[in-house]
């Protein structure tokens, strides 16, 4: 499928007519082209956005809410088409695209369509001064949204929905590796009656198209999800222009298992938290720490279950593990597996490329479990972002807490225990923006989402996202 930019409500090729090949991860073949947009396209997108701002911010909340909810309904109605497109573009199992990615994209619009109707500001009476203060929450203006390839439409819409709900106009760029569902979203927005120019979707590489967004002096806020190195670069470019920034970055999340947990539930969920989406979710629990008393049992049971995961073409309903997103990414993950061997890690299962019949050039890899000799080795410290987890035992709460926090990242952590006091102690001390206890990736869109340390700056989700996409202005009136 060939992709075009969506600017001012219309599909158009890039001004410089430069294109990038789009590969299908399941078979390694080129199946379309996408624009590699330049500064000129970003300028056109900006002009389109500017032409409808502040008009869009002056529409009633009811009107904005209705359009967002209409977009969510249209996504629901097109679930199958979008799920097939997402699975083909990204390599993820169709079952995941159908039950997680696309429903969540629809929920993002529904949620923020409703949330904006409840987004209240504050007022304070200055008693003794005969004055009243009230706080306005004004949209920023034209904002930039940049998203990664792992949950393409899910994360793209996670930014766009609150931005437009709050009255901003948007210049957005999805990942060049997975552009298709963002392209299809343009059609849906037009059909839902979103005024032209409110959302402009520009495709292209990070260092050309993305760079033009972050360097644009009049794009006043950037919401970015992606790698930590890219986030640091964006922060550097944005700082002299005092842009507002929300950075959702990498992770290397601990999954801490105590002997007193509900074992079967933990085992089932740990397989999922390790390998869902081929381990390419920023929230995956890639470092598994198991209390020594159940370590050997866990090791045997976990490996047995992982070996049963079905690797196959993403379009097959019974596939558990699809293809990795790209050839360079597959190679990077394989390098980490080799590194593990050099670091005295033991590969308990997996570790090899998989040849799927009829799709020999697809980017398939066995789900891989590595028993590490020390928590300080690189495979245990660096984000691999593939179907690879490390496991090791621990003896005490202090010992595991120290290891869990001894990485540069701090996105999420998972804890398995039935001990309430330990739950509280650990949850409060884990360096992470999100802690799950006896579950994983249970998301309530009202809750704050984001990381600490190298996992990011700022919070999205619920009213946090609406706060990010607005400026608070206090008005003080003496009466």
Long-range Cβ pairs for the range 447-454 (8 Å, 24+)? 449/248, 450/246, 450/248, 450/411, 451/248, 451/249, 451/251, 451/409, 451/410, 451/411, 451/412, 452/410, 453/408, 453/409, 453/410, 454/228, 454/249, 454/250, 454/408, 454/409, 454/410
- Does position 39 interact with ligand NAD (CB under 6 A)? The reply is no
Smallest gap from Cβ 120 to ligand NAD, in A, equals: 27
Distance linking the first and last C-alpha atoms of the chain: 63
466, 137 Cβ separation under 8 angstroms: yes
**Closest approach of Cβ 207 to ligand NAD, in Å?**
5
Minimum distance of ligand NAD from residue 434's CB (angstroms): 10
Q: In whole angstroms, how close is the CB of 156 to ligand NAD at the nearest point?
A: 9
Please state the closest distance from residue 281 (CB atom) to ligand NAD, in A: 7
Pick 362 or 456: Cβ nearer ligand NAD? 456
Residue 74 vs 283, nearer CB to ligand NAD: 283
CB of 147 to ligand NAD, least distance (A): 6
Using rule CB under 6 A, residue 214 touches ligand NAD? yes
Q: Is the CB of 301 or the CB of 382 nearer to ligand NAD? A: 382
Answer yes or no whether residue 25 interacts with ligand NAD by CB under 6 A: no
Task: Decide if residue 86 touches ligand NAD (CB under 6 A).
Answer: no
Give me the 138-157 binding string for ligand NAD, x by CB under 6 A, dash otherwise. Answer: --------xxxxx----x--
Q: What tokens were used for 440?
A: 């994983």
Active site residue 282: yes
Angstrom CA distances, 212 to 19, 186, 196, 218, 296, stand at 17, 21, 21, 11, 52
Interaction between residue 385 and ligand NAD (CB under 6 A): yes
240-259 b/e (C-beta count within 10 Å ≥ 16 → b): eeebbbbbbbbbbbbbbbbe
CA–CA gap between residue 371 and residue 354 (Å, rounded)? 21
Helix (H, G, I), strand (E, B) or coil at 101: helix
The residue among 105 and 282 lying less far from ligand NAD, judged by its C-beta, is 282
CA distance 59 to 164: 11
C-beta closer to ligand NAD: residue 53 or 449: 449
Return the residue of 34, 83, 238, 282 that touches ligand NAD, per CB under 6 A. Answer: 282
Whole-number minimum distance, CB 100 to ligand NAD, in Å? 13
Question: Residue 176, interface with ligand NAD (CB under 6 A)?
Answer: yes
Residue whose CB is less far from ligand NAD, 257 or 284: 284
Residue 381 C-beta: closest distance to ligand NAD, Å: 14
For 391, the 3-state DSSP assignment is strand
Q: Looking at beta carbons, which residue is closest to ligand NAD?
A: 206
Helix (H) and strand (E) counts for the chain?
Answer: 16, 24
* Beta carbon nearer to ligand NAD, 22 or 57: 22
CA atoms of 321 and 153, how far apart (whole Å):
20
CB 287 within 8 A of CB 241: no
Which secondary-structure segment (H or E) carries 91? none
Whether a cis peptide bond, with omega within 30° of 0, leads into 200 is no
Q: List the one residue from 33, 211, 381, 423 that touches ligand NAD (CB under 6 A).
A: 211
Q: Please pick, from the candidates 197, 226, 458, 462, the single residue that binds ligand NAD as defined by CB under 6 A.
A: 226
**Who contacts 28 (Cβ-Cβ below 8 Å, separation ≥6)?**
327, 359, 361, 362, 363
From the list 52, 74, 411, 454, which residue makes contact with ligand NAD (rule: CB under 6 A)? 411
Asked whether position 314 contacts ligand NAD by CB under 6 A, the answer is no
User: Helix, strand, coil: what percent of the chain each, to 5?
Assistant: 40, 25, 35
225: contact with ligand NAD by CB under 6 A: yes
**Residues 221 and 244: beta-carbon distance below 8 Å:** yes
User: Which residue in the set 197, 206, 285, 362 belongs to the binding site for ligand NAD (CB under 6 A)?
Assistant: 206
* Burial letters 427-448, b for 16+ CB under 10 A, else e: eebbbbbbbbbbebbeeebeee
Choose between 345 and 458: whose C-beta lies nearer to ligand NAD.
458
Of the pair 211, 423, the CB lying nearest ligand NAD is at 211
Total interface residues for ligand NAD by CB under 6 A: 32
- Active-site hit among 86, 176, 248, 383: 248
425: three-class secondary structure by DSSP: helix
476 is catalytic: no
Site for ligand NAD in 438-477 (CB under 6 A): 451, 455-456
Q: Which of 250, 475, 273 has the alpha carbon at shortest distance from 384?
A: 250
Which of these is catalytic: 24, 145, 169, 282? 282
Q: Does 326 bind ligand NAD (CB under 6 A)?
A: no
Which of the residues are catalytic?
248, 282
Footprint of ligand NAD (CB under 6 A) = 146-150, 155, 173, 175-176, 205-207, 210-211, 214, 225-227, 230, 233-234, 248-251, 282, 383, 385, 411, 451, 455-456
């Amino acid at each position: 499928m060939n992709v075009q930019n969506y600017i001012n409500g219309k599909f158009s090729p890039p001004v410089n007519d430069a294109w990038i090949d789009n590969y299908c991860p399941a078979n390694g073949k080129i199946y379309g082209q996408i624009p590699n947009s330049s500064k000129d396209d970003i300028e056109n997108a900006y002009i389109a956005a500017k032409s409808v701002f502040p008009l869009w911010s002056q529409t009633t909340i009811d009107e904005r809410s209705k359009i967002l909810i209409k977009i969510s309904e249209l996504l629901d109605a097109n679930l199958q088409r979008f799920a097939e497109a997402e699975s083909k573009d990204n390599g993820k199992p169709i079952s995941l695209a159908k039950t997680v990615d696309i429903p969540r994209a629809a929920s993002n619009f529904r949620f923020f369509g409703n949330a904006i109707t409840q987004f209240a500001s504050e007022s304070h009476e200055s008693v003794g001064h005969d004055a009243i203060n009230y706080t306005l929450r004004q949209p920023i203006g034209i904002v930039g949204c940049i998203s990664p390839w792992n949950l393409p439409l899910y994360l793209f819409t996670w930014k766009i929905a609150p931005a437009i709900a709050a009255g901003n106009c948007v210049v957005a760029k999805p990942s060049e590796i997975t552009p298709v569902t963002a392209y299809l979203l343009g059609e849906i927005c037009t059909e839902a009656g979103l005024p032209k120019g409110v959302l402009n979707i520009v495709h292209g590489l990070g260092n050309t198209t993305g760079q033009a967004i972050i360097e644009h002096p009049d794009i006043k806020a950037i919401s970015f999800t992606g790698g930590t190195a890219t986030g640091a670069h964006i922060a550097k470019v944005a700082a002299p222009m005092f842009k507002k920034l929300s950075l959702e970055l990498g992770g290397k999340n601990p999954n801490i298992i105590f002997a007193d947990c509900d074992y079967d539930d933990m085992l089932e969920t740990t397989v999922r938290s390790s390998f869902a989406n081929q381990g390419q979710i920023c929230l995956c629990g890639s470092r598994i720490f198991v209390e020594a008393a159940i370590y050997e049992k866990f090791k045997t049971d976990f490996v047995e279950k992982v070996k049963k995961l079905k690797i196959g073409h993403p379009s097959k309903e019974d596939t558990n593990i699809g293809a990795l997103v790209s050839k360079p990414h597959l190679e990077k993950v394989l390098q980490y597996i080799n590194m593990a061997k050099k670091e005295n890690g033991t590969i308990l299962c997996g570790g090899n490329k998989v040849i799927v019949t009829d799709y020999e050039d697809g980017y398939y890899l066995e789900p891989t479990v590595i028993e590490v000799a020390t928590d300080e080795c690189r495979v245990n410290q660096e984000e691999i972002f593939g179907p690879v987890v490390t496991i090791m035992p621990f003896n005490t709460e202090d010992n595991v807490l120290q290891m869990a926090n001894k990485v540069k990242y701090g996105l999420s952590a998972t804890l398995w225990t039935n001990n309430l006091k330990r739950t509280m102690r650990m949850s409060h001390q884990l360096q992470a923006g999100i802690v799950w206890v006896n579950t994983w990736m249970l998301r309530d869109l009202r809750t704050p989402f984001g990381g600490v340390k190298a996992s990011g700056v700022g919070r999205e989700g619920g009213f946090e996202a609406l706060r990010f996409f607005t400026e608070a202005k206090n008005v003080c009136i003496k009466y």
